[in-house]
Structure 1
Amino acid sequence: MLSRGDSPVLVVGAGVGGLAAAIHLAAAGRPVLVLERAAAPGGRIRRLHPGGLAVDAGPAVLTLLPVFQALFAAGGARLEDHLMLRPLAVLGRHIWPDGQQLDLLADRRAAEDAIGDFAGPAAARGFRDFMARATRCHDALEAPFLTAQRPGMLALGALAGKLGTSPFGTLWDALGRDFDNPRLRQVFGRMAAYVGSSPLLAPATLMLVAHVEMSGLHGIEGGMGRLAEALAAVAVAQGVEIRHGATVAELLVQGGRIAGLRLADDTRIAARRVVLAADAASLAAGHFGAAAAKAVPRLPAARRSFSAFGWAMAGRAEGPDLPRQTVFHPADPVAEYAALARGQMPEVPTVTLWAQARHDPAPAPDGAPGGAEPLMTLVAAPARADARPADPAPVEAASLAAMARAGVTLRRDAVLAVTPRDYEAEAPGSGGALYGQAVHGWQSIFSRPAARTALPGLYLAGGTTHPGAGLAMAALSGRLAAQAVMGDRG
């Protein structure tokens, strides 16, 4: 039998969701022990080191800055004292095979002018109308959805009048209301890809992502890993103990509720409250023990979000001066997303290049050894093993060709590839899905696992749980998990 005593709340995983939960719990006076299998905090914020150069291989920018300012404040700290942020003037450069390009700018008036130059006055008006609807959508859903333990469906019905379109329709159809130009529809359809989903199937409510993006994207000086390091420091200052190299092998259950956990070295730690800040699919698949597996339902393979092929590189991007993010679009986005939804690789994929040392359009920096800069390219892939290629080489060749057509060539001094199988190895049972459940269909936003599970004493946090994928959503999930822990008795 495990001794229950006055045990701490255990948090499994030192990603943003886990660290957020720990900070909120500690601020409320709860003893907290964080168990992290890796040697450093971060979770999905991961670094690879091709040729010894640090490259962010996870989230590349910070969104919803007020969420993180509030999180640091909850821990008695100021974000600005821990991180140096670099706001991005260019949210992304979009390039098509025929050479046409559009820089999507952070300043709304400047973005409207750029879109007008790109596609005419009607397109500029469409952008203005679309952004007004996206803002109304965000404001209407923030309280009843983003910050609620269980989102309420009643909010969707009220949205119909505010959006001028049905929130039960698709994002692709909603974009068609404002954008006659198919390439602008393609640009803003990328909002669904940010959460591993297809705009052909995603609900119209995902237009709120446009408001989030236009509210500001920030790079972090020194890389995204600095965010995890700073949050860990705030947690420790609040009295949280973080134990690295601690792999959780099993969640222990007694009397129908959580009783603690067992580490890979067979150490057992008793607890009546455990926050699992790991992929919910791994829990459901039994990778934290059979006794806890039914705490959440299993996610069918067809409902998984996209995975990705990625290449972290030390080298240089040669060609036109590039911003931090450049997106190389195929001519036919419908064919691409339809293939991915079928579990197949598209013949011509969208390629995203992150030149991580750049913020505004600029030439490659010369400060690194040999003039190398950190680069990351990503291509969406299905999180299903039935059709995706085992060999990343053809996808890599297609990516390089897409960039070369736009006049961008890569000098690659050192390269590390990441495949869907690598992501699956990090989160067994996920199929390599990067964002948990795909946001396909209006009901999908209500069916992500919530903070409370069916197993008393076990709570969830992280980007595969409610309210959704992304660093800011993971931070909110940690707050919701902490609130659930503090609101339950027994």
Structure 2
Amino acid sequence: MDRQARIVIVGAGIGGLAAALRLAYAGCAVTVIEAQATPGGKMRTLPTAAGPVDAGPTVLTLKPVFDALFADVGLRLEDHLTLHPLRTLARHYWPDGATLDLTAEADDSAARIAQVFGPGSADDFRRFTARAARLFAAFEGPMMQAAQPSQRELVRRVLRQPRLALDMAPQRTLAGLVAASFREPRLAQLFARYATYVGGSPGASPALLSLIWEAEARGVWTVDGGMHALAATLARLAEGFGAAFRYGTPVRRIVRQGGKVSGVDTGAGFVAADMVLFNGDPAALHDGLLGPAPKAAVTEVAVTPRSLSAHVASFAAVPEGVPLAHHTVFFADDADAEFTAIAKGAVPRDATLYICAQDHGAAPGALQRFEIIRNAAPLGDHPAEDFSCQILMFDRLRLFGLHLSPGPVTLTGPADFARLFPGSRGSLYGRSPQGLTAALQRPTARTAVSGLYLCGGGTHPGAGVPMATLSARHAAETMLRDLASTSTSRPADTRGGMSTGSATTGRRAFPS
């Protein structure tokens, strides 16, 4: 090519930002167009009297994914972000007064379980943890790290390791697996909750999702400045490699000419492109919200059924009562009743509450930032009312002995998320994980529309900050391969190319 490849990225979520960094480093002329005023997508913040509070993802796991992202563009994560490993992964409270901390050391967690629930429950935990580790090791390569997951390769893996067929428990849901794995119902309730990490209900999600525990067991980190600092840093670094960002600019449609994507229409005019990377909910394309050209890129089975939504409260308050960890869970009396209500599109009266204490460790009496997340149904034909959720949250916490004296509370519910993220119907995780082959149904980076690519939590390998970051790698590598196949040379000003591992040659110094 005699010029840089022009790439437009629609959406500055974590996937779009990671892809912009990779593609700009590889020498492409990258323009990121974002409807909101700041980068981050769901990784957003809201103002409080104590400063900006995270109002989206709060848990950073699988740190090697981010180490690799920085290394692949000639940088070191620790030079640009400060991460702290948490010794207490999460604190858990039950209505009967039982309390359990799970920690970064498996033996310590087992000892704590033995103290609270007895030595037999500790043995159950060790077996469940070993199972999750085997599943994660088996499926990380052919699923998460593969740009195009293959059911055939998964079958080969199981044939080579027959025990995996038992570990997967293909005829069981996650709720069924944990009920059979733990003699203690409260532990079953705890580990069934991991389905919600990817937007699934425990009773409708495959037992395979037990491997999510292994992702958390490998470590949880906090980020100085909150999770939004990760998004802001990626945007800044991508700009340093030449990417341009246009905020407050909604994309009206993706344009195709001569059978190939040619750019995007915005309220500020047309932006030409050789390739377009869509970092939004793929359902928006399927539903025609970006015009007729990209509708063929996504099939209905790739975006339905929809995953869970949430009610999210963001605020500053002075906490009193039971001690909190950075991540604390207050369990519902009856998990089955909670998810039965959600399945009907209703707001459950009793639900598990997750709290992120962003300023954990602050002095007693200090004003601190909090985020509370309560599972909810996506928008259906008859949207559930949100008005009571804030009252339900704070009343429920008082029953546990936690008293918060909040200032103004911003409550974001399914209808709000539907407005923020077009096509999502309020769902926060894209397609639902229900069904054993759900992971194979998500759309991948390359679409049926020439020149149009996908990344983000709604695409393969799925929801969550590390998975969206991996989707960006898959998209960037796919796009660069396709550019190479149509050219006898790389784009001009290539800064070291791309690799699955860390690029080690041809890097330029990042401007300070």
Q: Give SS of 2:408's match.
A: strand
Are the structure 2 counterparts of residues 320 and 52 from structure 1 closer, same or farther at C-alpha, using a change threshold of 3 Å? closer
User: Residue 452 of structure 2 aligns with which residue?
Assistant: 458
Q: 1:326 aligns with which of 325, 328, 343?
A: 328
Distance 1:401 1:194, change over 3 A: same
Cα drift, residue 321 of structure 1: 2.0
Q: Does 1:248 align with 2:251?
A: yes
2-structure distance, mates of 1:57, 1:314 = 12
Number of corresponding residues? 478
2:37 counterpart residue number: 39
Task: Give the alignment of 1:403-414 within 5 angstroms.
Answer: 403-414=397-408
Q: Within 2, Cα distance between the matches of 1:114 and 1:182?
A: 16
1:199 aligns with one of 198, 202, 220: 202
1:88-487 matched pairs, under 5 angstroms: 88-157=86-155, 158=158, 161-162=163-164, 164-168=166-170, 169-265=172-268, 267-298=269-300, 303-358=305-360, 362=361, 364-365=362-363, 371-390=366-385, 392-487=386-481
Q: 2:50 touches 2:368 (CA, 8 Å); kept in 1?
A: no
Query: Aligned letter for 1:377?
Result: I
Cα distance in 2, alignment partners of residues 409 and 420 from structure 1: 26
Letter in 2 for 1:331: D
Q: Is the 8 A contact 1:130 1:178 kept in 2?
A: yes
Task: Name the aligned partner's letter for residue 414 of structure 1.
Answer: P
Contact 2:260/2:450 (8 A) holds in 1: yes
Report the CA distance shift for 1:421/1:71 in structure 2 as closer, same or farther (over 3 A): same
Partners of 2:123 and 2:154 in 1: how far apart?
Answer: 26
- Whether the aligned pair in 1 keeps the contact of 2:14 and 2:231 (CA below 8 Å) is yes
Counterparts in 2 of 1:290 and 1:180: CA distance versus 1, 3 Å: same
Secondary structure of 1:305's counterpart equals: coil
In 2, the alpha carbon distance for the partners of 1:200 and 1:109 equals 29
Query: Which residue of structure 1 lines up, in the alignment, with residue 47 of structure 2?
Result: 49
Q: Which amino acid aligns with 1:460?
A: L
Over 3 Å counting, the alpha-carbon distance change for 1:299 and 1:349 in structure 2 is: farther
Distance in 1 separating the partners of 2:424 and 2:14: 19
Matched residue SS, 1:409:
strand
* CA deviation map 1:373-398 (0-9, x unaligned): 101111111002335422x2322222
Partner of residue 61, structure 1? 59
Structure 1 residues 160 and 444: CA distance shift in structure 2, 3 A: farther
Provide Cα deviations, 1:317-374, integer angstroms capped at 9, x if missing partner. 211221012111112112212222333322311111211111xxx5x536xxx83110
Percent identity, aligned pairs only, is: 40
User: Which range moves more in the overlay, 314-323 or 470-479?
Assistant: 314-323
Q: Where does the alignment leave 5 or more consecutive residues of structure 1 unmatched?
A: none
State the AA in 1 paired with 2:338: E
Supply the distance in 1 between the matched residues of 2:38 and 2:387 (Cα, whole angstroms): 31
Q: 1 CA distance for matches of 2:89 and 2:400? A: 19
- Offset from partner CA, 1:251-274 (integer Å, 9 cap, x none): 001122211111122x11221211
* CA contact 2:65–2:466 (8 Å) conserved in 1: yes
Report the AA paired with residue 224 of structure 2.
Answer: E
**TM-score with structure 2 setting the length:** 0.89
Deviation of 1:94 after TM superposition, in Å, equals 1.4
Using the alignment, how far apart are the partners of 1:300 and 1:81 within structure 2?
38
CA RMSD of aligned residues (A): 2.0
Cα distance in 2 for residues equivalent to 1:14 and 1:247? 11
CA separation of 1:436/1:485 partners in 2, compared to 1, >3 Å: closer, same or farther?
same
Measured against aligned partners, the alpha-carbon deviations of 1:191-240 in whole angstroms (never above 9, x if no partner) come to 10111111111112211111110111111111111111211122122222
Cα distance change of structure 1 residues 124 and 154 upon mapping to structure 2, 3 Å threshold? farther
CA offset at residue 163 of structure 1? Answer: 6.0
Shift of 1:412: 0.7
Q: Following TM superposition, by how much is the alpha carbon of 1:7 offset from its aligned partner in structure 2, in angstroms?
A: 4.7
3-state SS, counterpart of residue 371 of structure 1: coil
Structure-2 separation of matches of 1:55 and 1:389: 26
What code does the residue aligned with 1:444 have? A
Cα deviations by residue, 1:39-93 (Å, 9 ceiling, x for unpaired): 2211111001134621100011211100001101122211111111121111111
Aligned-partner SS, 1:303: coil
